[in-house]
Amino acid sequence: MRLWSSKDAAEALGVSMQRVRALARAGRLDGRKIGGRWIVEPVPGKREPQSGRPMSSAIAWALLAELSGARADWVHPSAMSRLRRRLGEPEWVLRSLQRSQARGRIVRWRALPSDLPKIRTKAAIIPTGLSAVTREIDIVGSSDEIDAYVDRDMLGLIERQFRPAKESVEPNLTLRVPSQPWILSFSRAPLAVVSADLLLSPDSRVSRAGGEALRKLLYG
């Protein structure tokens, strides 16, 4: 079995290399430092990193928009037509979303637990992931953390007002600035987006629940 580098693990888990190193130091990933580099045991249930060109963020967002009944007007009609044909291949869709380019900037901070309710009620955020679990997803949501989409201005406002810790092994505030703004028109992320974000979780139970919810959508 081939061991993963921190880059391999970051690609497979959908997180940054810095996050992989923090998880390994905290013992949440089975890893060790050899010659100044982190080596990580492969995570069960996660696909080995693959070569080849990943799906672009624009196409990944177009795929999720199509599944959410939204119009992806940033994609050429011919590319959209090809993408619609591939929606009949659920496993291809899941693999492509797992390996796609990042769909925007993601920060993982730690806020004071007492600040989380304030952020939920006062900030313009669009819950996703474990913050937006519905009955269609076979996993329990979390009230101890926030996972949400925000625009750049709101990200800056939350940073200034609540002063979250930027470096934490146990972040409780995941904020996503999307590369395509259509998601910001929702009060809560659509099921396809919630499921796709869960799919990228380093927690295999959460990732599996996201994948199953996406399969249900794709198979109808």
Domain spans in the chain, listed from the N-terminal domain onward: 4-40, 52-220
Q: Residue 30 CB: number of other CB atoms within 10 A? A: 13
pLDDT in tens, 14-61: 777 778 888 777 777 777 777 777 878 777 666 555 555 789 999 999
pLDDT in tens, 78-95: 999 999 999 889 999 998
CB of 41 within 8 A of CB of 32? Answer: no
The residue among 212 and 21 whose pLDDT is bigger is 212
What is the per-residue pLDDT for 83?
93
What is the per-residue pLDDT for 56?
92
Round to whole Å and give the CA distance between 89 and 146: 32
Instruction: Identify the weakest region by mean pLDDT among 50-59, 97-106, 167-176, 184-193.
Output: 50-59
What is the per-residue pLDDT for 106?
93
Going by pLDDT thresholds of 50, 70 and 90, the confidence category of residue 209 is very high
Distances in Å between the alpha carbon of 82 and those of 63, 78, 125, 162? 11, 6, 33, 44
pLDDT in tens, 141-165: 988 999 999 999 999 999 999 999 9
- pLDDT beyond 60 at 126: yes
Mean pLDDT of the chain: 88
Going by pLDDT thresholds of 50, 70 and 90, the confidence category of residue 7 is confident
What does pTM read for this prediction? Answer: 0.78
- pLDDT beyond 90 at 113: yes
What is the per-residue pLDDT for 48?
53
Residues in the chain: 220
Nearest CA to 192 among 103, 109, 121, 108? 103
* H or E segment and range at residue 115: none
3-state helix, strand, coil in the chain (%, to 5): 45, 15, 40
**In percent, how much of the chain has pLDDT > 70?**
94
Going by pLDDT thresholds of 50, 70 and 90, the confidence category of residue 2 is low
Instruction: Identify the weakest region by mean pLDDT among 21-25, 171-175, 204-208.
Output: 21-25
Rounded mean pLDDT, 183-198: 96
